[in-house]
Amino acid sequence: MLLKPNFILKIGLLLLLFAGLSGIVSAQDLMLKGLNPNYSQTGTLVGKLGYNLNISSISSLPETVNNKEFSGERLHLVGQIMLIQKVAKGTSIGLGYGYGLHNIFGIKETENRYLGQTSFQHNFGKLSVNHRLRYEYRTPVNQNTGIADNASILRYQTFLTFPLYNPKERKTGFYLSASNEAFWYLKGATNGPVSSRNGYFPVMNTSEDWVHLAGGYNAGKTRVELGYCFQSLIRNKQLDMRYLSLAQVSIFVNLNWDDVQSWWYL
């Protein structure tokens, strides 16, 4: 029996529709909620040479996604120290080192990070805009298997700060902030989920992106900020996504070397 062309066409369309629906149903995108506390300390050491110390943690909340239970646990804890040299007004370069402890739902990894960056800050009226381009060479070690690997990552961040007061008249008050940071994985690690490269977002060819919106209070040498942070990450070779929806609290402290020296005489 010969099959009519229209019948073959209908079968083909049905197969394409089924394949598309199967892709949607089988998609394993993961949306998790959590907490993201941060501590950042900056200051001047001597002349135009300064430092930045940063400690950041991400913890997920217990919940059930796609009929799978996820216990609340700390996913990431990263600390880093960086020396920063001012080279011109609003422009600086930096070199640093970071160390991370990761637990991706039972897969534990440690990670060394070697950092290099340049940043440029400028203003549009009261709005402060900071651009940061950072290169990271990471060496994650899978604690479950003992296997080590390396990754090379390029990160670009734009950070906006808008004071709700006149900076020419006062130095303290409330402010708003927002940022976006895109990640390009030049080389991904293959020994586990940490720093792995699984695919690219269209147009920008990035593999990871962070967005944050917040409000805070500037007390002079200390700022406290409350906000919301959202991460999107391609988590496997099937291009399934992991999203983190995070409540964020950040503390920023400016502590110069002269301030530390004065403590010795108290």
159: tokens are: 């950070």
Predicted confidence pLDDT, tens digits, the chain (266 residues): 444 545 444 444 444 444 443 333 335 788 899 999 999 999 999 999 999 999 999 999 988 777 777 778 899 999 999 999 999 999 999 999 999 999 987 899 999 999 999 999 999 999 999 999 999 999 999 999 999 999 999 999 999 999 999 998 998 999 999 999 999 999 999 998 889 988 888 777 888 999 999 999 999 999 999 999 999 998 888 888 889 999 999 999 998 766 554 444 44
| C-alpha dist (Å) from residue 162 to 169, 174, 216 | 15, 9, 10
| DSSP class of 4 | P
Where does the chain have alpha helices with state H? 5-26, 257-263
CB atoms closer than 10 angstroms to residue 106: 8
233 in Cβ contact with 241 (< 8 Å): yes
pLDDT of residue 64: 78
DSSP string over 23-84 = HHHH---EEEEEEEEEEEEEEEEETTEEEEEEEEEEEEPPEEETTEEE---EEEEEEEEEEE
For tokens 């961040």, the residue is: 157
Domains, in order of start, for the chain: 30-256 (2.40.160)
pLDDT of residue 260: 52
pLDDT of residue 26: 37
pLDDT of residue 27: 54
pLDDT of residue 16: 42
